[in-house]
Amino acid sequence: MAYHSNGQVGMPEWVIKWLINALALLIVSYVPYRGGTLLEIDGAGAALIAAMVLGIVNTFIRPIFMMFSLPLRILSLGLFTLVINALMLCMGSWLMGNAFNIPGFWAAILASLLLSLVSSALNHLIRGDSR
C-alpha cells in the first residue's frame, strides 16, 4: 500500500500509471486510420496486458535503443526519439500477437504521439499532475 502525505492509504503509483496507460491505449484504439483504426486491441483485458508489456519493453529495451541512437537523436534534434517510440510500440504489438495490432510503421509513429498526448492529459485529469 502507498501512504499519502495526509496519512491515507491509496493505490501504489505503478498501478495508477498502469491503469492510465491501459485507458490511453483504449482511447487511441478508437482513432480512425485508413479505413480501420490506428490500434486494434481486443478489449480492456488486452489493453491492461498491452500496457504491462509496453511498460516492460520501455523499461528494459528502450534505454538500449536510446543509448545507441544518441548520434542520430543529436543530428535530428531529438526527432529520432519518435522512431524509437514507434519501434517500442511495434515490439509490444509483436509480443502481444493478435490481441494488439498496429497496421504499419507510420501508424505506430502517429499512435506513439497520440498515446503520449492522451496519457499526459489523463495523468493531469486523474492525478492532478503532469508526470
The answer on pLDDT for 44 being more than 80 is yes
Q: What pLDDT score does 10 carry?
A: 79
pLDDT in tens, 69-100: 999 999 999 999 999 999 999 999 999 999 99
Name the average pLDDT for the chain.
92
pTM of the model: 0.87
11-20 tens-digit pLDDT? 888 999 999 9
pLDDT at 11: 82
**Closest by CA position to 85, among listed 103, 68, 61:** 61
Q: Which long-range contacts (CB under 8 A, 24 or more apart) does 37-43 make?
A: 38/102, 38/103, 38/107, 38/110, 38/111, 38/114, 39/100, 39/101, 39/102, 39/107, 39/111, 40/100, 40/101, 40/102, 40/103, 41/99, 41/100, 42/98, 42/99, 42/100
Percent of the chain with pLDDT over 90: 83
Q: Which residue has the higher pLDDT, 12 or 5?
A: 12
Count the neighbouring beta carbons within 10 Å of the beta carbon of residue 109: 18
